[in-house]
Chains A and B, each alone.
Chain A
Amino acid sequence: MITTRQLIAQARAREEAMARVEELLASASGTAHDIDGQVEVTVDARGKLLRLWLAPSAVNLGERLGPLVVEIAQAAMREATQDGYNKVALLLGEDMTAMIEQMTGIPAPARAEDDDPGMTVEEFQRQRAERLGAASAEPAPSSAGDEDAYWESFDPASLRSDR
């Protein structure tokens, strides 16, 4: 049988944990960029702009630039929300965090059905084969002068690893 004293202690502990939650969420942030790397945005968990970077070529987008920045800011906010939940989960545990998600009505973006599950092994191998294929198709350096330039840009990761 739980005592009143224990109940009060539990309530206090919960209150303290919730106070930390606010602090953690205030420190959460998220960054996103567009597929061409022309726009990069960092926002906090409330969506406030913390940083905006535009590539010199971004001005060539003309009137499309504005809507693109808005879109990237919203993607960054989803990252910030996830970052906040990740931090809260470390403090309160997964179950409590899932409860907070339900209370706020904002599920962690990583739970979304269309969330990018990352790259499969097959996809990685296909891209790697493509990279290696492209590397071997490059013309070999002919003269001694070219050789220095070749070694400067040499990437050891392009070596065959299967022997």
Chain B
Amino acid sequence: MARSGPVVGKASSPDSTIEVQVAPGGLLTGLTIHRSALRHGSAVLADRIFELAQRATRRAGDRMYHALAPVVDAAQLETLGYEPIPDDDPDAETYSYGGGPR
């Protein structure tokens, strides 16, 4: 883990105009909003950021789960909120939209 740096979770909108980065647990550590994402208004923007933050949080939890699963009990990891994401889940990082790799 020391080699790969701190564990983070990332998610971005399909058009990459919003990029969210969170720490394990879900605390926002980075948020980039491209100007073109602002034109839909504040309510839509807030909803999109919220959804992306949730996805990023699940991804950070998935990474923590896989990093710690060999040494820590799964139930213990679950109480910390670190759970693996199934491969066929849209939030999985390997999940591809519309068939093509992203």
Contacts and interface: CB of A to CB of B under 8 A. Distances in A.
Interface in A21-76: 22, 43-44, 46-49, 51-59, 62-63, 65-67, 69-70, 73-74
A108 interface: no
B50 A58 contact: no
B32 A66 contact: yes
Chain A interface, >50% SS class? helix
Given A22-B79, A59-B41, A66-B32, A47 B46 contact: no
A67 B54 CA distance: 18
Contact of B28 (A22, A47, A54, A65): A47
Given A22-B79, A59-B41, A48 B30 contact: no
Contacts, number: 71
Interface in B8-39: 22-23, 25-33, 35, 38-39
Given A54-B42, A54-B45, A74 B33 contact: no
Interface in A101-146: none
Nearest to A69: B31
A88 interface: no
Leading 10 A-B pairs by shortest Cβ distance: A47-B27, A48-B26, A46-B25, A66-B31, A54-B42, A73-B28, A59-B38, A49-B53, A54-B46, A66-B33
Given A56-B42, A58-B42, A77-B27, 7 more contacts: A48-B25, A49-B28, A53-B46, A54-B43, A59-B38, A66-B32, A66-B33
13 contacts: A44-B26, A46-B26, A47-B22, A47-B25, A53-B46, A54-B46, A55-B42, A58-B42, A63-B33, A65-B38, A66-B31, A69-B28, A70-B30
